[in-house]
Structure 1
């Protein structure tokens, strides 16, 4: 008999662990909620990925360490729509997906979730911690497993970095390389003119200033070389995955 599987995507930035609650107890509650749905029975497998755009701040390094210790994958990102499709590609229906996020964000995903439901996946949505904690804690019977569709249990989508360990992951998130990646994402999304020094966040650190200045000069040269073309250029960073096993972030 095939093992029943479920995936949980938890936007921990929008739905942080409630004050006064133990992170591992919260995970057990999530696990129990999936089991209670009746879709994943005894001895099934559940993978949980906690997603946030500033993980070292929310939930913070201590909670990251505790979640990672029990097999929760951590992903630095501000969206996860493709994660739903990636898991669906590797786990044909009937699989179960739970999304934990704010009510508004779940509304934005309504079309995607409806499409996956039409394909035979079971969709669970959770945005109310009070409902999750309303019942008495029950003993869970499923196993927590690492999501097989993720590039690494510790992945930064901003910089496309797959870290080999939690320590490497947190080091990367505090690095100049990541700070520049965050700025690059912000500037690209908001169509910032990066040829104008007044628009750049100089002054945070000498290392970041150097990267910003190099990028600005390169863009100024490209813009002037294209004659009348005006406005900001798109991202100039290579869009590929770095494996920190061979090159650790500093």
Structure 2
């Protein structure tokens, strides 16, 4: 763990502990957990106020353990998703330290989110071994005399947090709480942050397939329709303001339409797109009528992630309407209809803007909701939205924004493949290197001993001067890869990840996870075809200070079929740790290859894989 700076040493430290993924070790007194965490932090210079919260489905934890934790000053939060619920508990505090105790692969994207909010995420992130944390504490643990603990239920949204352990136990066994928990578990799956639209729709489809017990939620959605907030996402590029329509009347006409449909609560209309290609006089008229602007690089392609972000924001249920004729959104309209919002899709603005015989009432011509503002996802101006139209146009046509937008669109198109990769710095040569191998697109060639793939890659990197730690992950649909290939590859120290969708999408998730664990300097190499190697995330890494290692330009066969005599000595003298085994289809780790391959062949895995394949086809 990195030593605290002078400012961090005195700041508040928030510790969130996933008690399900990292339970209290057998034989350990639960009352030593808090002192152990406190001493670990103090030994690294973090001496400010400390709050430790155990989060998870706490009904699965023995009551005597919960009682001991609570009495020692650890707060309890009932959350159905465990580590994934932590994101919803983040509040802006620019001087706070943040520590997570969970499974190694938990919380993808959380590190990046915390940094964007101004937190100091403590490494390792997450701290994945409660056993080692306690063993590191060799001193005598004094009895804690801190503040009294409290408890909170994310399922029932009790606010403020309650006191009293007996009250907590009563709530835990309450019939209404159990019903809400069952409903939430059947309808709620929270994917990682910063997902592409394919990621988002895939997760939404998987979650919506289990919407079987949602009677109470439907009742809430009826209430939300008449009283809740309505958000309208309007793709102004695909559905522009008609030539014969006064732009200042678009907002009032949308408001009138929604009122007729029964949506009577607060309304926010958000025009999304690049926006620089919309005439300034139209933008000014829209903005003056109360329509908010959100600058996004890909238009309708950004809408699924915006909907997902909105649906999982704390607070009451919302209504969402999308105005776009994007074919993808049309095909996925059933998926976007989640149990967290009323969803409506319109593929034209024309019906709102045609002249009609009905005169707009004075109320309809007023602002659509609160004062408009603008935010920019291209430049990450999201946390502090601006309100001045002049500042909007200044930013929209500014050199910094235009350069950022150009870089994003260039990477999106794949033209960045022709750009030369930066030469590695000296510190990169000793830094960690992570290799992602598309085992389906670049399989082990005939005649190559799969036991030698790991040594081949290692020797290739050593010849280029890289001497730091190395991790290699083979990714793909592993169900039809021969067992002897998997066994040989895995025995050479290569991790096996069975993925449910294409390599490029999976690569995004692995890249985000790699960034969370490894700040620059660090290296990434991708073994795949040129199209997949052009992933936005891979080339975006270079702009964030990471080094991209280019694989051999010739065929992968020559890469893997290396000099056998040199490799014999390498294989005989090297001791490889067995790589990780993980199924992204079913979100499960495995401790040995036999259980892993047995899982890949089982009916439950095959059923889940079929659902994912149907998502990809759509």
Indicate conservation of the 8 Å contact 2:449/2:488, yes or no: no
1:72 and 2:494 correspond: yes
Q: Which digits, 9 at most, give the CA deviation of each residue in 1:153-181, with x for residues without a partner? A: 11111121222321111111001011101
With CA pairs under 8 Å and 6+ residues apart, which has the higher RCO, 1 or 2? Answer: 1
Return closer, same or farther for 1:12/1:27 CA change in 2, 3 Å cut-off. Answer: same
Inter-partner Cα distance in structure 2 for 1:134 and 1:174? 30
1:112 and 2:533 correspond: no
Q: CA deviation at 1:85?
A: 1.7
1:57 and 2:480 correspond: yes
Q: How does 1:115-134 map to 2 (within 5 A)?
A: 115-126=540-551, 128-130=555-557, 132=559
Inter-partner Cα distance in structure 2 for 1:9 and 1:146? 16
Inter-partner Cα distance in structure 2 for 1:73 and 1:182? 20
Partner SS for 1:68 = helix
Q: Which residue of 1 aligns with 2:275?
A: none
Inter-partner Cα distance in structure 2 for 1:48 and 1:121? 17
Indicate conservation of the 8 Å contact 1:34/1:98, yes or no: no
Matching residue within 15, 18, 30 for 2:457: 30
Inter-partner Cα distance in structure 1 for 2:451 and 2:598? 23
1:103 and 2:530 correspond: yes
Return closer, same or farther for 1:72/1:154 CA change in 2, 3 Å cut-off. Answer: same
TM-score by length of 2: 0.27
Inter-partner Cα distance in structure 2 for 1:131 and 1:84? 27
Return closer, same or farther for 1:164/1:144 CA change in 2, 3 Å cut-off. Answer: closer
Indicate conservation of the 8 Å contact 1:45/1:142, yes or no: no
Q: Which digits, 9 at most, give the CA deviation of each residue in 1:185-236, with x for residues without a partner? A: 0222334xxxxxxxxxxxxxxxxxxxxxxxxxxxxxxxxxxxxxxxxxxxxx
How many pairs were matched up? Answer: 179
Indicate conservation of the 8 Å contact 2:437/2:472, yes or no: yes
Inter-partner Cα distance in structure 2 for 1:183 and 1:155? 18
Indicate conservation of the 8 Å contact 1:12/1:51, yes or no: yes
Q: Which residue of 2 aligns with 1:205?
A: none
Return closer, same or farther for 1:144/1:14 CA change in 2, 3 Å cut-off. Answer: same
Indicate conservation of the 8 Å contact 2:451/2:491, yes or no: no
Return closer, same or farther for 1:117/1:186 CA change in 2, 3 Å cut-off. Answer: same
Q: CA deviation at 1:112?
A: 1.3
Compare CA radii of gyration and give the structure with the larger one.
2
For structure 2, list consecutive stretches of 5 or more residues without a partner in the other structure.
Answer: 1-426
Q: CA deviation at 1:64?
A: 1.2
Q: CA deviation at 1:29?
A: 1.4
Q: How does 1:199-214 map to 2 (within 5 A)?
A: none
Indicate conservation of the 8 Å contact 2:433/2:522, yes or no: yes
1:48 and 2:489 correspond: no
Partner SS for 1:88 = helix
Return closer, same or farther for 1:187/1:175 CA change in 2, 3 Å cut-off. Answer: same
Return closer, same or farther for 1:131/1:171 CA change in 2, 3 Å cut-off. Answer: closer
Q: CA deviation at 1:135?
A: 6.8
Partner SS for 2:496 = strand
Q: Which digits, 9 at most, give the CA deviation of each residue in 1:87-145, with x for residues without a partner? A: 121111111111101122213x1x21221111111112336325526875477699856
Indicate conservation of the 8 Å contact 1:71/1:146, yes or no: yes
Inter-partner Cα distance in structure 2 for 1:190 and 1:17? 27
Q: CA deviation at 1:70?
A: 3.0
